[in-house]
Every structure is written in structure tokens, then in C-alpha cells.
Structure 1
Amino acid sequence: MSSKRPPVAPPDIPGYTFISVLGSGGFSDVYLYDQDRPRRKVAVKVLLADLKTDGARRRFESEANLMAQLSTHPYIVTIYQAEVTDAGHSYLAMEYCSRPSLDVRYRRARFSVDEALSVGIQVASAVETAHRAGIAHRDIKPANILVTDYNRPALTDFGISGTMDAAQDDDAGMSIPWSPPESFAAGASDGVKVDIWALGATLYTLLAGHSPFVIPGADNSQRELISRINSSPLPKLGRPDVPEALELVLATAMSKSPTSRYSSAKAFARDLMRVQTDLNLSVTPFEVQEDIVHEEADPDTHFEATRVRSVVSIDPDSHPSAPTFPSVVPRSNPGIGARPASQGPQINSVPGVTGSTTGLTQNGSTVPSQGAGSKTRPDAFVDTAAGPTAAGPTVRGFPSVLSPTQWASPPPRGAQEPDTDAVLASTVHRSALGAPAQDLVPAPASKKRLWLGIGAGGVLAAAVVVGIVLFTNGGAPTQADPFVTGPSTPPPAVMAGAEVPALTDLVATASNGGAVWTWTNPAPEDGDKYLWAAISAVEAGQFKPITEGHVFVTNNSNEASCVSVMLLRKNGATSPETKKCFP
């Protein structure tokens, strides 16, 4: 913001309390207010009272709408409110960036190559976001790039923005030092190409300490600047720490012909990122909103965890691979063995129950009734409605369990022998209670397994008794305390720089607002690199790796160039720091 014109008195805005004046420009004044709800400091940009023309009001409202569309980007100032006061003052309440803008900073000291590249990529991502929304800024310059409380650039002042193919208003302003040649000609200009030139000119300004076509000590009037912008080649930066690749990138962005410039801000940022890679610097992310792909919803997405399978019915009369059960053979039928594997258990009737078995179920369906002459087989359940047996009622649910009257008077030896199916079916349920004990004899194989089972049970019981005795006498085994550790050999400590010699002969040569520092490696080895950082009396900068034995360091706020360098070995070991200031 320019300070040539004194700002007008701040307006009375309901819900805001005036604090101080932040600056003034050609079309508006900016004030610092304290917002009541929510409580925070905000920057309020107010349109000048004596410039309330239709064009000025149109630009102001356009700026509010455009910035509202873009203010979610991390490198664009956020807009909170746009309103008109009762006195007719239009204002924008926006994010307050408390740090000095880039315009203030570059006038104090030139930017390092690392910071200038990072700022260029971040602002380029904001410009690319605006272009994708069909908006051209048309006034990119250091004064319109604020710095947030988190030390990030924030593009602002879309006051003369518009669609990328629209001509500027007749009463719209422009910043000559950062404007391309086509801005001074009649007719419409390509907003994308204008913004790319202005962004390149802004980076040049941060590195040079002045706008691209300003010559220190010469005539820098508007007429001379326009003439140089139209006809003079872009001057070299003349800094030893600026690589030739960066000079070429800036020259491409500021080509006299719009068609020779980068086609987009993204292409410009991509080449800046390549320069960062060549200099072994951290690559700054390029942040733009990606296109959202709307995918069709999967109908089974919310039913995956509770999917219900269809019910599978199993027919017991089919021929699956049925297990073979050990048989219990009556003495009167010694030749009967186990049921064949192909014959599964059948559930039709109850032994000893006469009459119909209507009401029994099989796999959820009613079993058809049988006549009195049908063969009977045991079932898992007994229908008591069929009536009691001759010897007494059968216990429900256990068809082969005898009633109390049958326990007292077992049937005679000569009674009716059960048929083969009934005997075999009873073995399916592992029950031998349905016949007298003297009539049922285990098969030899079953008897052998019985004795094996008894022996195994005895051994297991003995083992349990012995374990109880040992536990009682000796106590439970002592568990290691997780918080008590035994003696151990500590790992060898990694001593950074313990075996690496310090750099020597650190010498500075004054050069254009800073100094070029050189040093000597006392014991060179393959793969050696150097770490350097600009330091001051109150803070140390971030170390950056380089391969050359020299570096340019700009002067700090005390007009001194101070540096700290270390030797970095291939294995990662570093030497002690070597620090010095010049002058």
C-alpha cells in the first residue's frame, strides 16, 4: 500500500472496534479492527468515499465475490464478510496477516534463493487455482503478497481481477514495474500470460532487491520503465548463488512475446521445482485442488458386514459320507456289525410306541405318519400324545431310556427281538439303556478302546495331582519383572563430527549486499559435501547441503554476512561448526 495519500477517518462498523490504520491505496484504505463475534483481529478494506463511481463499486463487489471463491486456498487471503455501512461505505473484512508483506521485506534485504523458490511455487499454486476458476489477478506484485502469522505467503487484492479474456476497465489501475509489455498497448490482454509475467517479475524483485527494469542511480520514471519493459532485455541478477537454470526460468516467464512464456502457472512452478532439485533443496509442494471424481455408490457397501446367506437344507435320507459308528451287538444277533456308511440315520418313529407318530418334525417339516404295521426306529424326540407303552410311559426326549417300571421288571429273554434297523438306529444315539444289560455285549474293538480310555484318564489324573503338589511345594514360577532389566551392553554412541576435521580458512569477499564465503577441506574424501546456514546474533538458520566449496550469504539486519559451515561425510558424519561474520 502507498503512504502518499493520508487515509480517511475509519468508518463506524457495527460489531467492529477500530484499532489502527494499516495502509492506504489508490482506491481504498485498510484498517485493523477488533471483531466482536467471534473475537479476533481482522483487516478491513474500505472503499474511498469520494470514489463511489459505478466502476469502483463494481470492482469492489467483484473482488469480494472472487476472493470468496478462492479464499479456501492456503496461499490466498481469506474473506470473512463483505458489506455496506449505513453511511454508504463498502468494506471487506478479511484475514489479518500480521507479518510484513513481501514488499517490505525485499526492501530490507534480498531473499535467499531457497526462500524465493519456495515463495514462487506457493504463490504459483494460488495463481493456478485462480486461473482454473476462470479468474486472472492482473496485479501480482510484492505488495499484494502478504505473510500470515505462520510465515506463509497469502495473495490478496483482487481489486482489478476479472475473467481471463476480459479487457480491463478504463479506470482500473496497474503497477508498471511488474506489468508486461502488452499491458501498455491498446486492446485486451491474456490474463494468464499477464499473471505469469508479473509472478516472474515478483520473484526477480525478491532476488535483486528492486523491480526487474529499475536501474539503481538512473532515471526510473514511469516513461523510462515502460520503454525498458518494451525493448530492453531482462538484466542478469548478477548473484553468484543464483544458478543459470533459475535465470533461464525467469527469462522464460518474462519473455516479451506472450506466446513464448509458460503456458500456465503450473508449468512455471514445475521448472522452479526442478531448480530446487538441482540445488539439493527441499522441494516445495504445489497445492491445487484436484478434480473430484464422483463414483457410483456400491449397493453392497453398507451390507458387507451383515450379509445373510441363503439357508441350505440337508436331506438326512440322501447319501452323504456318513461316519461309521461302533456297534453294540445283542447276543441273539452276533453277526450284526456297524451301519454301512452309505446309510444315514432315519427319523420316522419311536420304538415301543404304537399308533401314529403325527407331529414329529424333520428339518423343519412334519414327518408323515405310519401305520401300525410299519417298522419302528428310534427318534430324538417322543410324541407323548401317542400314548404310554405297555410297561409304562417313556421319558420324553430320551426314547431309549426305560421307565421306572421297566427298571424293576426287565422283559423276559424270549420276548420279541427288535428288528435289525431298530438295533442299529439305537447305536446312532450312543445309548444302550433301551435293552437289558445282560442282552448287550460290547464288540471287541469297543472294549479295547474302553480300556485305553480308562488308562489314559488315569495317567491324566496322575499328572494333574503331581502338578498340584509341585505347585504347592515350589510355588508358582517367578515371572520376569518387565520394569527390571539385567545388565546389558549399551550401543555405541554416534558422535556427530567426532572424527571429521573442522573446515579451515573461512574467508569472505564482499559482493552486492552480502559476501561470498570460501573455505578449505583439510582432509578431502570421495562424497564430501558441506552444510551451511546464515546465522545472526539471535538465531541460527537452517542448514542446507551444497557440493561446492563456496556460498553467497546476504547481509542480515545488522548489515553483516554471518555463516556457519560444516563438513558432511558420505557416511553422514559431520564436523564441528565453523562460524564467522563479515565485516
Structure 2
Amino acid sequence: MSSKRVPAAPPVLPGYRFVSVLGSGGFSDVYLYEQDRPRRKVAVKVLTADLKTSGARASFESEANLMAQLSAHPYIVTIFEAEITDSGHSYLAMEYCSRPSLDMQYRQGRFSADKALEIGIQVASAVETAHRAGIAHRDIKPANILVTDYNRPALTDFGISGTMDAVQADGGGMSIPWSPPESFGSGATDGIKVDVWALGATIYTLLAGHSPFVIPGADNSQRELIARINAAPLPALGRADIPAELELVLATAMAKSPASRYSSAKDFARALMRIQADMNLSVTPFEVQEEIVAADFRPDDHSEPTRVRSVVSIDPDASTSNPTFPSRQANNTGGGASAAAPHINASPHVNTVPGETGSTTGLNRNGQTLPSAGPATPAGQAGAPSLGAPSLGAPSAQWNHPVLESTVPRSDQLRPAPGEAPALSAPAVPSKKRLWLGLGSGLVLVAAVVVGIMVFVGGGAPATVDPQAQKTSPPPTALIVGAEVPPVSDLAAAPKNGGSEWSWNNPDPQEGDKYLWASVSAVDTGTFKPITENRAFVVDDPNGQSCISVKLVRKNGQTSAESKKCS
């Protein structure tokens, strides 16, 4: 913000304590307050004009509502409160961004390509979020991009923004250095294309150290700026560390014709992300909330692998006295003393269903006891089946239940003669099938042992390795080591634009060669950046000296030693 106008006295706001003045502009003053509940520092923007007219009141409410809709985005300033002072001036209490804005930062020094790309993508995601909400900012510039305590950009000042339902018929008060050509005409303007231009001009400003059409030392009046914006081509950045692809992307975003620009902030951001990938930089995430579409759920589609089917299990150790599956025998007696719960030491009985017997103990389907299909026998009658065997005295018809047919073995030897009580402790008669299975398993085991012995005895000495075959077989890939990569040579510097353009020679050029270079100070070496050409631009340090460190990188990833030199 400009400090030409003296800010007004800070208003007394209930629940806030004044701390200091942050700045002032043509239409508002910004102060730092401390909020009582919750206790935090907030920036309070107070409009200089009071809200005497309905139009002024509507404009203020519009800005508050617009910023409130978007303030959940990580790169848009958060709005806490919108109110009117006792003197009739409106104010916004919003997130306090303690670090210098981008406007102050680029005046202190030009941004590196990787930092400018990162900020450009982050702000583009905020602009795209606003556009999806039907809001065009219309005043994107470095001064309106604040920086939070966590060093992230935060877009602010939606004071002249508006919905995109009605296309504005004038420029809307945009700042001239970051305004597209159509803002100075009398025709309508497209808010999306205006914001794409302004965002491109902002990124250009961070890289160049001045707005796109400002010429240092020349006449930069408003009239001259407007004439250059309308007719002059976009000046080249003149930096060797800026790839030509980035200059082309910025030129596309700032095309004279709106139709030739990127159709959306998202498309602009994707172009910047491709440059990051080409420069082997970490690609910045594009933070935009996607629409959540409810899935058309149909339970019968693709549900076969997880469908729970009916499972029949037999637990031979289960007891009818288990509290989880209590015995229902007491309900079969019809009342009286025998209707009481059985004593814990009473002999166990088969789980029964009233009026039926013959079910096996612990036979369950999905947690429920299954009855047998046999004829009913009153519970408690002599000869009731015990826990050890399934209703030996019942007629064979009771075993015709389809589930019991597949899970309970039958044997005619186990059925007693008619009128005979079943033997409770009769030993089980082994089946012939089990006997044959046992004999077969034993024979297979013996055969396996015999074969193993024969193979061991008759195998003899291990086969002799053919030395000629060994000579012709290629060594493993992991053991192949390339030749040592030679360092670059003949480092030379040519002074240019506040720094030096360095060049060097590759003593053994090979296909796929690249270079890593970094500026060197008296304290340490900066971050290495990949390039394919054998030249790089390094800005002079405060002593007017330019130092560089270069490495040669082969296609297989092998790297040479550093070559360092100062101009």
C-alpha cells in the first residue's frame, strides 16, 4: 500500500485493542489490532469513506461476502468479521500476514525461477477457486499478495471484484502496470482473461524486478505505460537462468488478444507445472476443491467377493449351559418343577427345539441353532440323546435334512437294534475309508523316502562348470561401472546486468549430458540447479563479485567433481 496519505486515527472497536498502523491507500487504512477473544493479532481494514449511501454500503457488504466465501482457501486471506464503526465507517477484521508483501519483496531483489513458479501456481489455484465461485478478482498485483507467518502467499483486496454473471464495461479501477489492453478501452472485459493477464504480469514482475512494460530510466508515465501495453511486445527478461519455455508461457498469458491467452487460471498453472517438471524441480500442488459426486450405489453390483453366506459349523466341545446359547430344554416340559433351569452338574443334553429332537450339539447357521428334520420326541424322555453322539436311536429318516447330510457322518453299525437303548460309552468304530486313507498316506511317505535316498546316492559329483561358458556370459548389470566423469573446464565470466554470464567446456561430451550449477558465497554453496546448456547467469554479491560451482552429470546419473571460480 502507498503511504502518501496520512492514515486517519484508528477507531475504537469493541473487543479489539489498537497496536500500530500497517499502511494506507486511496480508499482505506489498515491497522494492527489485538483481538480479545480469541486472543490473536488481526489486520483491520477501515474504509475512509463512510457508508452514507446505499451504493457504498452495498459495495462494502459485497467485498465482505466475497472474501468470506473464499477465505477457507490456503492462499486467500481469511476474513474474521465485517462491521461498521460508531462513526459510520465499515471495517474488515482479517488474517494478519506479518511478512512483507510480494510488492516489498521484489523491490529488494529479483526472485529465482523456482520461487516465482511456486508462487505463481499457488496464487493461480486461489484465482481458479474464485472463478469457480463466480468471482473475478480484477486487481491481481504484487501488493495484493501478502505473505503469512508460514511464508505462503495470500491473495487479498477483493474490493473491486465482482461476480462474473455481469461482464464489467470498464476496467474497474485496476492498477495500470498489471492491467491488460482491454481494460483501457470502452468495451466489455472478461474477468477470467483479465485475471490471467494480471497473474502473468505479477510473475513477470517478480522475475524482472519491475512491472512488464516499465523501462528503467525511461518515461514511465501512465500514458506511456498504456501505449506500451496496447502495442509493444512483451520485453524479454534477459536472464540466462530463465528457460525460454517460461518466457513463452508468460507471453501467452499476457497476449494482447484475450482469445489467445490461457482459457483459465488452471490451464496457466498447468503450463507452469510442466516447466517445473522440465527443470527437475518439485512440482507445486494445485490447491482447488474438486466437486464431490455421490456414487450411484447398487448393492448387487460387484458385491460378490464380500457377500457373507450362510456358514454351518459344528463345535463338538460346545455345552448347552453356555449363557450365550442357553438350553431351551426347560421350555419343553410344560411347566412344573421340571421347567426350572437344569442344575450345572446335570448331564448335558443336545440343544433341542420344542417338540423336536435329533439335532447335533453346536450346529449353528449364522449364530442360530438348527433343528433336525426328524420326528418329534418329548424332551426329558428316557433314551434322550447325550452330548457324545447324535440321536443313535432315532429312525434314519431324521438324517434327511440337507445340511446334516453334508456335515454329519452316518454308519449303519452305530444304530442299535430296535428296542435297545443306545450305549452311551460305546467306542467308535473306525470307518474303512479312514483305514485306506491311512494306509495310502503311509505308502506315499515310504516311497518319498526311498526316492530321496536313490537320488542322493546316484546323483554323483556336481556337474563340472564349463570355463568357456563362464567367459562368454555377460557380468551382472550392477557390476558394470562407468569411467570417471571429468570435471568441466575453462570457466569464464562475462559481466552483464548486475551479474556475470558464466560459460564452460565439457572435456568429453556424450549424449544426455547435463550440468548442475549453483552460486557460491563466502559462507556456503547455494542450491544446485539442473540445465542442459553450458552457461548460466549468476547475480553479483554485495562485494560486486560473482562466483559459481558447476558439475557435469552423465545420462546414467554419474556426477563429476565440482569446478568453482569467481569473477
The question of a shared fold, defined as TM-score above 0.5 by the shorter chain, is answered with yes
Query: Are 2:180 and 2:254, in contact at CA under 8 Å, matched by a contact in 1?
Result: yes
Instruction: Decide which of 407, 413, 417 is 1:427's aligned counterpart.
Output: 413
Name the residue aligned to 1:546.
Answer: 531
Q: Which moved more, 1:161-170 or 1:219-228?
A: 161-170
Q: Which residue of 2 is the match for residue 214 of structure 1? A: 214
Cα distance, 1:429–1:499 mapped onto 2, change above 3 Å = farther
Conserved? CA contact 2:139–2:195, under 8 Å: yes
How many Å apart are 1:158 and its aligned residue?
0.8
Opposite residue 515 of structure 1, the aligned amino acid is S
SS at match of 2:18: strand
2:84 and 2:90 in contact (8 A); partners too = yes
Closer, same or farther: CA 498–102 of 1 in aligned 2, 3 Å: farther
- What amino acid sits opposite 2:492 in the alignment? V
Question: How far apart are the structure 2 equivalents of 1:296 and 1:238?
Answer: 55
Per-residue deviation, 1:69: 1.3
Is contact 2:97–2:149 with CA below 8 Å preserved after alignment? yes
Give the Cα separation in 2 of the matches to 1:62 and 1:187.
Answer: 24
Conserved? CA contact 1:71–1:79, under 8 Å: yes
Q: Deviations over 1:15-43 (max 9, x none)?
A: 22222222111111112222232232222
Deviations 1:375-415 (A, max 9, x none): xxxxxx997646xxxxxxx7973999xxxxxxxxxxxxxxx
CA distance in 2, matches of 1:442, 1:101: 91
1:572/1:310 CA distance change after superposition, 3 Å? closer
Task: Give the one of 499, 510, 513 matched to 1:514.
Answer: 499
CA distance in 2, matches of 1:20, 1:60: 23
Q: What is the TM-score when the length of structure 1 is the normalising length?
A: 0.66
Q: What is the deviation of 1:202? A: 1.3
The amino acid across from 2:386 in the alignment is G
Which residue identity is paired with 1:512? N
Going from structure 1 to structure 2, the CA distance change for 1:256 and 1:523 (only over 3 Å counts) comes to: closer
Separation (CA, whole Å) in 2 of partners of 1:567 and 1:239 = 22
Deviation digits for residues 33-70 of structure 1 (CA, Å, limit 9, x no counterpart): 22232232222211115686544443332222111111
Q: How does 1:285-296 map to 2 (within 5 A)?
A: 285-296=285-296
CA contact (8 A) 2:520 2:526 kept: yes
Aligned partner of residue 149 in structure 2, secondary structure: coil
Structure 2 equivalent of residue 346 of structure 1: none
Deviations 1:440-462 (A, max 9, x none): 9999998x97xx99xx9xxxxxx
Are the counterparts in 2 of residues 165 and 190 from structure 1 also a CA contact under 8 Å? Answer: no
Alignment-derived partner of residue 397 in structure 1 = 386
Partner amino acid, structure 1, of 2:533:
E
Report the Cα offset of residue 87 of structure 1. Answer: 3.5
Instruction: State the TM-score, normalized to the length of structure 2.
Output: 0.68
- Matched residue of 1:506: which SS? strand
- C-alpha distance in 2 between matches for 1:135 and 1:399: 80
Change (3 A) 1:552 1:366: closer
**Equivalent position of 1:126 in the other structure:** 126
1:563 aligns with 2:548: yes
User: Cα gap change, 1:443/1:165 in structure 2, threshold over 3 Å: closer, same or farther?
Assistant: closer
Matched-pair contact (CA < 8 Å) for 1:99–1:151: yes
> Are residues 505 and 186 of structure 1, via their aligned partners in 2, closer, same or farther at CA, if it must alter by over 3 Å?
same
Report the alpha carbon displacement of residue 558 of structure 1 after superposing the two structures with TM.
Answer: 6.3
Flag structure 2 segments of 5+ consecutive residues without an equivalent: 314-353, 360-370, 390-395, 398-409, 443-481
Cα deviation, residue 195, structure 1 = 1.0
Change (3 A) 1:35 1:290: same
Which among 344, 357, 361 is matched to residue 361 of structure 1?
357
CA distance in 2 between counterparts of 1:562 and 1:441 reads: 97
SS in 1 for 2:518: strand
State the partner residue of 2:273: 273
SS at structure 2 position matched to 1:255: coil
Counterpart CA distance in 1 for 2:58 and 2:429 is 107
Cα deviation for residue 143 of structure 1 reads 0.8
Which structure has the larger Rg over C-alpha atoms? 1
Distance in 1, matches of 2:553 and 2:233, equals: 41
Aligned partners of 2:519, 2:545: CA distance in 1, in Å? Answer: 10
Report percent identity of matched pairs.
70
Hey, what's the Cα distance between the residues in 1 that align with 2:427 and 2:388? 20
Give the letter for the 1:83 counterpart: E
How far apart, CA to CA, are the structure 2 residues paired with 1:441 and 1:223? 114
> Contact 1:165–1:191 (CA<8 Å) still a contact in 2?
no
Change (3 A) 1:505 1:55: farther
Structure 1 gaps of 5+ residues are 314-357, 370-380, 387-393, 401-419, 457-496
Structure-2 separation of matches of 1:554 and 1:10? 43
1:492-514 CA distances to partner (integer Å, 9 max, x unpaired)? xxxxx996554444333222132
Matches within 5 A, 1:251-270: 251-270=251-270
Q: Distance in 2 between matches of 1:4 and 1:154?
A: 24
Q: Is the 8 A contact 1:112 1:554 kept in 2?
A: no
Partner of 1:142: 142
CA deviation digits over 1:81-125, x for unaligned, max 9? 222233433222222222221111211212222222222222222
Equivalent position of 1:112 in the other structure: 112
Say whether the 8 Å CA contact 1:564–1:577 is kept in structure 2. Answer: yes
| Aligned residue runs from structure 1 range 152-231, under 5 A | 152-164=152-164, 166=166, 173-231=173-231
Q: 1:123 to 1:171 in 2, by over 3 A?
A: closer
Q: What residue in structure 2 maps to residue 533 of structure 1?
A: 518
Counterpart AA for 2:116: A
Local SS of the residue matching 1:271: helix
* Structure 1 residue 425 displacement after superposition: 6.7
Asked if 2 retains the 8 angstrom alpha-carbon contact of 1:109 and 1:556, the reply is no
Alpha-carbon offset, residue 430 of structure 1: 10
Q: In 2, Cα distance between the equivalents of 1:233 and 1:102?
A: 25
1:430 and 1:108 map into 2 onto residues whose CA distance is 106
Q: Look up the SS of the partner of 1:229 in the other structure.
A: helix
Question: Partners of 2:210 and 2:311 in 1: how far apart?
Answer: 82
CA distance, structure 1, for counterparts of residue 427 and residue 65 of structure 2: 99
Structure 2 distance, partners of 1:175, 1:8, is 24
Q: d(CA) in 2 for partners of 1:426 and 1:384?
A: 26
Using the TM superposition, give the Cα deviation of residue 242 of structure 1 relative to its aligned residue in structure 2, in angstroms.
2.9
Match of 1:414? none
Q: Which amino acid aligns with 2:164?
A: M
1:178 to partner: Cα distance: 0.8
What is the CA–CA distance in structure 1 between the aligned matches of 2:550 and 2:380, rounded to whole Å? 101
| Counterpart residue number, 1:329 | none
How far apart, CA to CA, are the structure 2 residues paired with 1:244 and 1:366? 86
Q: Does the C-alpha gap of structure 1 residues 274 and 311 become closer, same or farther in structure 2, counting only changes over 3 Å? A: closer
- What is the letter of the counterpart of residue 518 of structure 2? A
- In terms of mean alpha carbon deviation, does 259-268 or 154-163 score higher? 259-268
Specify the code of the residue in structure 2 equivalent to 1:211.
S
Q: Distance in 2 between matches of 1:247 and 1:272?
A: 11
Measure, in 2, the Cα distance between the counterparts of 1:220 and 1:441: 112
User: Which letter does structure 2 place at the counterpart of 1:163?
Assistant: T
Indicate conservation of the 8 Å contact 1:109/1:555, yes or no.
no
**Residue aligning to 2:461:** none
Quick one: distance in 1 between partners of 2:431 and 2:411?
A: 19
Residues 1:215 and 1:53: Cα distance change in structure 2 (over 3 Å)? farther
Distance 2:523 2:75 in 1: 29
- Provide closer, same or farther for how the CA distance between residues 514 and 52 of structure 1 changes in structure 2, counting only shifts above 3 A: farther
| Count of paired positions | 452
Contact 2:136 2:162 in 1 (8 A): yes
- Residues 1:574 and 2:563 are matched in the alignment: no
- Measured after TM superposition, the shift of residue 174 of structure 1 is 2.2
Q: Distance in 2 between matches of 1:92 and 1:227?
A: 37
Match of 1:247 in 2: 247
